[in-house]
Structure 1
């Protein structure tokens, strides 16, 4: 029976990827914004999907993809590098146009404004040149009047895409797709360098490379998060080898999308733990008060010479990127830090709470209450994830203890954020799915897959235009009334899982050599 189920994985993957490419290669639809004349970029297949058909096909693709990943988690294929299929996926992605949202048209507009000497953090696409520019005029609701919320490094890449693509929107978007696909390929290389042993490398291909949910949402969606995630993972890979170069990648991640600067916290916490593990270190108990606790947190990194040198080099590397980016970007670039501060997205667990409190509290009070609860939940969940990963040795396939700690902390912080934040979208999960393969198998793999499936389905087909009334009602109903409760189920399952694993106690320590070859 197990062999029969295992044999279903490849057909399910072929079905999922085939349907995703079919929608991405078709004519503009509810899942795919129109991009105009293709110019020298690839065109489409001439196949048209109505909003109902596009929604149905994408639902089938993501559900079959989730089943394939679940089978792969159960029995990952080891000892294969699958390089031919990786190249095939990358090539097919570049023969299609982005689906699932209109974000890529926003990127093209912000790059166009920057390339023509404007300030994309002040000028909205609708206002630029009276709304007559052939690129900025393509931005669709609800983003037509929204200045950029992305970091200046991302804006520079968008400007390069605009410069090469010229006045043709499809060409501009294709250059951006090329950057995203290269980032996806580079991410696989970085993850395989971080992974040790066939088991871990097999998980990289199951959870990242050949995960139709991740590929469909991130790569076929051409989201900037793939680029920011690559920079963050590269920083983790290089933190022990060259802190200055790692700092360059930290600065690039932060300057692409600020939330990916969380990797700096992971690296610094790992260095602090490395100092505390040394017998020569004379630690001290945390003092009372905010200042005392800050000294307790920072003293190991400041007082120990080697650690202080590494921290300085990391910060210098980050500043080499951050300072020029934000100076050139101008003072208005900081507006992105609070752009979503008072918002919520419909598919998050916070959404029902937000909607309910609006009936009894003023809007400002609802914002304060929900954001406060979200921050507390993030901190608590991150702590639990770190505790379970540490106690159960889930990073034991990563031989270097400091790199292991940095990966675990970065993954836990990123995962807690996307699960608890009032405003979260499927493509925000990049670091969760990039770093999860590096950890030893645990039941939360399936929990996270369940939650991500509902997040992906909640934003199918992906656009607010060209929807029939029936599809609009279905989409918004699923997003508002189904996906949030799937998020609650996932949170509760993670809490119960964490509780059971903490009660079970620590696992037996393993050596670096045995951890690299262990099957988990």
Structure 2
């Protein structure tokens, strides 16, 4: 009987490449068109690339992005089912990055926030104390372009991110499109830089191939993070550098940790990962490396936070305490608001989420460590410190993004950067399914520019359907860890 499944050659040469080409093509097309419900307008293009004279309706752009993300997730799923044996050459990946630079960011309006905060800092203001819309009476050509709901929100990002944004503003000048394009260059360079580091951290050809499957040629990751030009890519590069340097140079690793913390505070989780990895070297060496690493962190953090001023700490505190619609806790919040005051709902959900994060971290550690120990016994190679630090960082950051009351698709950047370095398990497919739903939940992306029907559709999906992806993710991981326990008893 002829198999209904595609042959290995057909899969490698036709099925997955075709899905990737169509998916990336749709993403690039959306970014190359004029202002839409996914892509904010940015005024005159100056010396930055312009847009095609194509105006997509909110319904059309929603359909195109849904198709791109579903096809992209399908292509990644096929590669997990039949993994490639070697990584892709650099040339097509650099070409993809250059094509992204011919488009404008879409999927959110965060890049206009970045440009505004950089503009305020470059002109001598305090982006941690000044709302963008109030800068120069709301008449500034860059800061006035910030969209709801962030028009009255000072920066919540770290001072390194603000410093980079200020540099792009100095070069971009009064032109928003030029400033954003320079920021896109930073994001694309960091994205490819993460790939270069991951290839060095990966220990086999197949794990290097996984880097392209799950990071570089993952249309969901590229669409959300790179086409969206999110600051999380910069923070992910710093974390990857810290892991690379952890084995031999704790001072430089500390500098990289300081860069991560100073970009986005949550990426400081890599410090815990490094401590977990260094513990394998013994107590004395752990304390020595921790002290040296702390010195590196302080060398970066202290001058940056002194430069940023005291308001930066207030804004970092204000960044927490809320919930987003597409998380598992959204359904709980909506129910509890009928029977409890808002402060009580926030407190209770925060406590429950913290407990859930701890449980999920333990579950992920058990699932991945089971395979990791078997791998260690077959390949004793001197990279155990980095491997252990990577696993700990992945477990902590992934438990956070799948259990936090407030989580957005671009918060998963570190999960998808580190996942290729771990042993392939069913966790890959569970996280892929969840991430695809999260990406779809925030299509088309802006809070303005949608028709009534599209707004109703996307909010209903985000509020009522996407949260179930979180619950099903928790359930799937629980069932998997139960199966691991049963297998251990059989052994």
Alignment of 1:48-63 (within 5 A): 48-63=55-70
Alpha-carbon offset, residue 308 of structure 1? 1.8
- Measure the CA separation in 1 of the matches of 2:316 and 2:483: 37
- Measure the CA separation in 1 of the matches of 2:380 and 2:263: 27
Question: Matched residue of 1:474: which SS?
Answer: helix
Paired residue for 1:493, among 467, 476, 487? Answer: 476
Paired residue for 1:465, among 434, 444, 448? Answer: 448
Structure 1 gap ranges (5+): 276-299, 509-520
- Measure the CA separation in 1 of the matches of 2:286 and 2:235: 26
Paired residue for 2:302, among 323, 330, 335? Answer: 323
Alpha-carbon offset, residue 398 of structure 1? 8.9
Matched, 1:11 2:18: yes
- Measure the CA separation in 2 of the matches of 1:96 and 1:120: 27
8 Å CA contact 2:371–2:423 kept in 1: the answer is no
Name the residue aligned to 1:121. 128
Alignment of 1:172-187 (within 5 A): 172-187=179-194
8 Å CA contact 1:236–1:246 kept in 2: the answer is yes
- Measure the CA separation in 1 of the matches of 2:489 and 2:229: 41
Alignment of 1:133-282 (within 5 A): 133-275=140-282
Equivalent pairs counted in the alignment come to 480
Alpha-carbon offset, residue 507 of structure 1? 12
Name the residue aligned to 1:425. 408
Alpha-carbon offset, residue 338 of structure 1? 2.2
Alpha-carbon offset, residue 52 of structure 1? 0.2
Question: Matched residue of 1:196: which SS?
Answer: coil
Question: Matched residue of 1:457: which SS?
Answer: helix
Paired residue for 1:359, among 328, 338, 348? Answer: 338
Paired residue for 1:409, among 392, 397, 402? Answer: 392
Matched, 1:374 2:346: no
Alpha-carbon offset, residue 5 of structure 1? 4.9
- Measure the CA separation in 2 of the matches of 1:429 and 1:453: 11
- Measure the CA separation in 1 of the matches of 2:266 and 2:487: 33
The CA deviation string for residues 136-194 of structure 1, in whole angstroms up to 9 with x for no partner, is: 00001110000000000100000001001000000000000000000001000000000
Paired residue for 1:480, among 463, 470, 477? Answer: 463
Structure 2 gap ranges (5+): none
Alpha-carbon offset, residue 40 of structure 1? 0.5
Question: Matched residue of 2:400: which SS?
Answer: helix
- Measure the CA separation in 1 of the matches of 2:87 and 2:401: 31
Question: Matched residue of 1:126: which SS?
Answer: helix
- Measure the CA separation in 1 of the matches of 2:256 and 2:380: 21
- Measure the CA separation in 2 of the matches of 1:111 and 1:255: 15
Alpha-carbon offset, residue 2 of structure 1? 3.6
Name the residue aligned to 2:38. 31
Relative to structure 1, is the Cα distance of residues 112 and 317 closer, same or farther in structure 2, using a 3 angstrom cutoff? Answer: same
TM-score normalised to structure 1 length: 0.90
Alpha-carbon offset, residue 256 of structure 1? 0.2
Name the residue aligned to 1:106. 113
The CA deviation string for residues 40-66 of structure 1, in whole angstroms up to 9 with x for no partner, is: 000011111110000000000000000
Relative to structure 1, is the Cα distance of residues 96 and 319 closer, same or farther in structure 2, using a 3 angstrom cutoff? Answer: same
Paired residue for 2:326, among 347, 371, 375? Answer: 347
Alpha-carbon offset, residue 438 of structure 1? 0.6
8 Å CA contact 1:391–1:507 kept in 2: the answer is no
TM-score normalised to structure 2 length: 0.96
8 Å CA contact 2:116–2:142 kept in 1: the answer is yes
The CA deviation string for residues 197-230 of structure 1, in whole angstroms up to 9 with x for no partner, is: 1110110000001000000000000000000011
Paired residue for 1:390, among 344, 362, 369? Answer: 369
Relative to structure 1, is the Cα distance of residues 137 and 143 closer, same or farther in structure 2, using a 3 angstrom cutoff? Answer: same
Deviates more, 1:83-92 or 1:468-477: 83-92
Alpha-carbon offset, residue 506 of structure 1? 10
Name the residue aligned to 2:317. 338
**Aligned-residue CA RMSD in angstroms?**
1.5
Paired residue for 2:90, among 80, 83, 91? Answer: 83
8 Å CA contact 1:340–1:423 kept in 2: the answer is no
Relative to structure 1, is the Cα distance of residues 179 and 506 closer, same or farther in structure 2, using a 3 angstrom cutoff? Answer: farther
